[in-house]
Amino acid sequence: MTGDDETLLLLSAYADGELSPGEVLAMERRLAAEPDLRARAARLRGLSGAVRATLAEVPAPETLRGRIVRQIGFADPEPRRSRLGAWPALAATLVAGIAIGASLGGIVPLGTAEAPSPVGEAVLAGHLRGLAAPQPFDIASADGHVVKPWFNGRTTIAPDAPDLSDRGYPLVGGRIDIVDGQPVPTLVYRHDRHVISVTVVPATGGAQAGEARRDGTFLERWEAGDLTYWAVSDLNARDLRGFVELYRARTARPR
Amino acid sequence: MTTLARARFSQLVLPRLDEGYRLAHWLTGNATDAEDVMQEACLRAYRAIETFAEGNARAWFLTIVRNTGYSWLQRHRPRAVIFAEDLAPEARAALDAGSGLAEAPETPEATLIARDEAGRLGRAIAALPVPFREALVLREYHGLGYREIAEVTGVPIGTVMSRLARARQHLLERLAKDGR
């Protein structure tokens, strides 16, 4: 009985792909030698298929999602209008604005800024996609000591993430953007209702610091060490410049 | 930050409602109770969402649904929540692998259990004791590995392995018996 009991367990685990390589080898040897065992293995496989189909047949009610969403809305102890409450609307407005703006003309370089680079386009796209998503970040944290290490292993760059909330630019999180086919880190800050993305890419050299504008979105770029930083936001150019100066001052290496 | 919580909720939980619902359905045995369990489970998930760091969101949510389902069963069907160690003797006997091996079906119904048997199979699954049923659902429907099932149900991997094997053996015997 005990031997059979063990065979039953092994056979079931074999069907589930949960045996160790050595056990698999032993089981396959036994299967080759014992027709009865092969028949049992076949029955188990047949059963699995039938069980799977039966379990999945249960219809999930279509109203469930709506009820859950309403319930979470009601269960929310804080007023609906939180500081970030306007994000979805803001994102929708922005996306609509971009769509309209795109038909009127592309990026408008400001002042001495040169034509936007493919990197700039990718950075801008990451920012806009972040706004269109339920949230503009992959990790939510106001703590730079949480955000910075989060990038380790996900990107080759882990930028400093100073909290600038004392100057009205709280850190809200970080996300991964794809620029030039590579995952790169983006820090997300907030200023009132505006979202600021700071995307950090390896410096390509040559390009000077500069800024560009696309509809209501400003891009500001600067180099530090062997990295190029892009700040993207729908903030006005002056406030974005203020943010950039603040960020640069806080991340400057004392030397 | 409740907007963040809601955003995470819609990212982590909302896409998994259907599979959560099916686990709740197979635990409670009917649609109305499954919806109740899901509502409570989602509220629990929402409250806990900010403490969920990195990791397997799916296993995390299924654990919440499973535990909510268990609380519900304990409240409303206390008799159904039988743990393997205190299985009634007849249930233990029914699930005992050894008992059925001698009369294992010879017919090669094996490869395919016909579609019209699905109703019988569903009833046989529903009749399994809860610990066996949940292991089967998490494995066959949710496709979790033994380690994940062990985490969700809070038992050692060896227990998962034996529950699955016994549940399957039991189903095969039930079907063979009904088929006669």
The predicted pLDDT at position B5 comes to 82
Structure tokens that stand for B138 in this block? 């998490």
- Domain C-terminal end among B79, B106, B127: B79
pLDDT band, very low/low/confident/very high, at A61 (cuts 50, 70, 90): confident
Please tell me which residue, A86 or A135, carries the higher pLDDT value. A135
Closest CA to B51 of B59, B38, B60: B60
Shared domain check, B98 and B72? no
The predicted pLDDT at position A119 comes to 85
The average pLDDT across A205-224 equals 75
Residue A82 Cα, gap to closest chain B Cα (Å) = 7
Shared domain check, B102 and B75? no
- Look at A31-40, A243-252, B14-23 and tell me which has the smallest mean pLDDT: A243-252
Shared domain check, B107 and B175? yes
Q: How many domains does chain B have?
A: 2
Instruction: Report the predicted TM-score, pTM, of the whole model to 2 decimal places.
Output: 0.53
Three-class SS of residue B26? Answer: helix
Shared domain check, B162 and B74? no
The predicted pLDDT at position A72 comes to 80
The average pLDDT across A19-36 equals 92
- Domain C-terminal end among B79, B108, B136: B79
Query: Which residues in chain A have Cβ-Cβ distances shorter than 8 Å to B169?
Result: 8
CB B49 within 8 A of CB B8: yes
Q: Does A8 touch chain B (CB under 8 A)?
A: yes
Shared domain check, B172 and B103? yes
Shared domain check, B150 and B91? yes
The predicted pLDDT at position B150 comes to 94
pLDDT band, very low/low/confident/very high, at A146 (cuts 50, 70, 90): confident
CA A24 to CA A109: how far, in whole Å?
Answer: 64
Query: Which residues in chain B have Cβ-Cβ distances shorter than 8 Å to A54?
Result: 118, 121-122, 125
Residue A1 has pLDDT above 60, yes or no: no
Q: In terms of residue numbers, what domain contains B31?
A: 2-79
The predicted pLDDT at position A129 comes to 81
Strand order from edge to edge, sheet including A182-191: A108-109, A210-214, A217-224, A227-233, A194-202, A182-191, A171-179, A139-140
pLDDT band, very low/low/confident/very high, at A28 (cuts 50, 70, 90): very high
- What does the mean pLDDT of chain B come to? 79
Structure tokens that stand for B103 in this block? 């009369």
Shared domain check, B148 and B87? yes
The interface residues of chain B toward chain A in range 31-60, judged by CB-CB distance below 8 A, are 31, 35, 38-39, 42-43, 46
Shared domain check, B41 and B89? no
CA B164 to CA B135: how far, in whole Å?
Answer: 6
Give A28's contacts (C-beta < 8 A, 6+ positions apart): none
Task: Please judge whether B43 and A53 are an interchain contact, meaning their C-beta atoms are less than 8 angstroms apart.
Answer: no
Number of other CB atoms surrounding residue B178 within 10 Å: 12
CATH, residue B167 = 1.10.10.10
The predicted pLDDT at position A218 comes to 85
The predicted pLDDT at position B100 comes to 38
Query: Which residues in chain B have Cβ-Cβ distances shorter than 8 Å to A43?
Result: 105, 109-110, 172
**Tens digit of pLDDT for each residue in B46-72?**
988 888 877 788 899 999 999 999 888
Q: ∠ at Cα B63 (B61, B68), nearest 5°? A: 100
**Tens digit of pLDDT for each residue in A68-127?**
888 887 554 444 444 444 445 555 555 554 444 444 444 444 444 445 578 888 888 888
**CA nearest to B120 within chain A:** A54
The predicted pLDDT at position A83 comes to 42
| A-B C-beta contacts closer than 8 Å | 147
CB A136 within 8 A of CB A175: yes
**CA nearest to A142 within chain B:** B1
Shared domain check, B173 and B99? yes
Listed by start position, the domains of chain A span 2-57, 87-251
Closest CA to B160 of B172, B171, B140, B146: B146
The average pLDDT across A173-197 equals 87
Shared domain check, B154 and B123? yes
Percent of chain A with pLDDT over 70: 78
- Domain C-terminal end among B30, B51, B79: B79
Shared domain check, B6 and B70? yes
Shared domain check, B121 and B52? no
Structure tokens that stand for A194 in this block? 């505006």
**Cβ-based burial of A184 (10 A; exposed 0-12, middle 13-18, buried ≥19):** buried
Q: Does B116 touch chain A (CB under 8 A)?
A: no
Low-confidence ranges of chain B (pLDDT < 70): 1, 78-118, 178-180
Distances in whole angstroms, Cα of residue B17 to Cα of each of B21, B28, B48:
6, 16, 16
Q: Which long-range contacts (CB under 8 A, 24 or more apart) does B54-58 make?
A: B56/B148, B57/B12, B57/B16, B58/B16, B58/B142
Closest CA to B172 of A198, A175, A46: A46
Superfamily of domain A87-251: MucB/RseB, C-terminal domain (3.30.200.100)
The interface residues of chain A toward chain B in range 163-182, judged by CB-CB distance below 8 A, are none
The predicted pLDDT at position A202 comes to 87
Residue A220 has pLDDT above 50, yes or no: yes
The predicted pLDDT at position B98 comes to 38
